[in-house]
Amino acid sequence: MHTDLVAALDIGGTKIAGGLVDGDGRILVRAQRATPAREDGDTVMRAVEEVLGELTASPLWARARAVGIGSAGPVDASAGTVSPVNVPGWRGYPLVARVRTVTGDLPVELIGDGVAITAAEHWQGAARGHDNALCMVVSTGVGGGLVLGGRLHPGPTGNAGHIGHISVDLDGDPCPCGARGCVERIASGPNIARRALDNGWRPGPDGDTSAAAVAAAARAGDPVAVASFERAAQALAAGIAATATLVEIDIAVIGGGVAKAGEVLFAPLREALRTYATLSFVQRLTVTPARMGTDAGLVGAAAAALAGRADATAAGV
């Protein structure tokens, strides 16, 4: 028996991935292009259309019932527009309308990329079985999303759970978003590396000054590298504890390149959580590494499309 499929798009500053995904989250058809992130908006859209073209050319396309899009943000799901920080050609860009010119009458769900990975972790990853969860990506930036009451909580515009830009240092350094002392300004990979360099850490002979190199130095016992990860962990803990106190999550799932540092990050993070998550109802909060790999964005976009379709069916649409 043929089951329904959904089309999924994962749009980031580096790549545009597409897939036809079944109800178990299996990606049956894949397509991918590099994102021409420095080009004008219509050139970027042509890369999306090429990805969609490969999907619609598949004999399986006839089984697609909905389209899910996870995009670098900010997004505006209510308007169907996107303004990814790292794709300057797209500002209030009508992505949903442009996708519809290819996909016709299929319903389209747009969510931010942090919400998409949250949908994926809740469906098939580390947040599975948790009705109240925060999922995060700690990488070049810091993003996230929420599951509340067993359901994805994208918020009205698709950006809810954007923990990277809540302030945990009131008079802290200015953040590119316009605020001060944001979690991202302290805990992102580039900021971990910058702080280590500022405090006297020096890279090895290969000249690698990435957060991964700082993590390797921390594992080898370099105190400046250790301190830079401890500061990042402290910022993450404060943001996670604030989130848990507001909405009673019981798990925080952390993925992205910085999370690959493993215990260099997670050990001080668990320690710092004891400082900030103090009230009785947040003391059992756990933090755990993400389980979904590089397909998380695509699988999460598919999950959003399937959930939207389930809602429409339940409403008799």
Binding residues vs Zn ion (CB under 5 A): 165, 175, 177, 179, 182
CA distance linking residue 215 with residue 278, whole number of Å: 28
Nearer to Zn ion, 122 or 185 (CB): 185
Query: In whole angstroms, how close is the CB of 147 to Zn ion at the nearest point?
Result: 23
Nearer to Zn ion, 118 or 188 (CB): 188
Nearer to Zn ion, 177 or 212 (CB): 177
CA distance linking residue 48 with residue 80, whole number of Å: 15
- Which region holds residue 155: left if phi is over 0, alpha if psi is between -120 and 50, else beta? left
Nearer to Zn ion, 66 or 137 (CB): 137
Query: In whole angstroms, how close is the CB of 165 to Zn ion at the nearest point?
Result: 4
For residues 304 and 114, is the Cβ–Cβ distance under 8 A? no
Helices (H), 105-262: 113-124, 183-187, 189-198, 211-219, 223-247
Q: Extract the tokens encoding 93.
A: 């860009």
Query: In whole angstroms, how close is the CB of 182 to Zn ion at the nearest point?
Result: 3
Query: In whole angstroms, how close is the CB of 238 to Zn ion at the nearest point?
Result: 14
CA distance linking residue 265 with residue 245, whole number of Å: 22
Burial-class residue 233 by CB neighbours within 10 Å (0-12, 13-18, 19+). Answer: buried
CA distance linking residue 202 with residue 96, whole number of Å: 46
Query: In whole angstroms, how close is the CB of 64 to Zn ion at the nearest point?
Result: 37
For residues 96 and 68, is the Cβ–Cβ distance under 8 A? no
Nearer to Zn ion, 79 or 179 (CB): 179
Query: In whole angstroms, how close is the CB of 175 to Zn ion at the nearest point?
Result: 3
Nearer to Zn ion, 106 or 179 (CB): 179
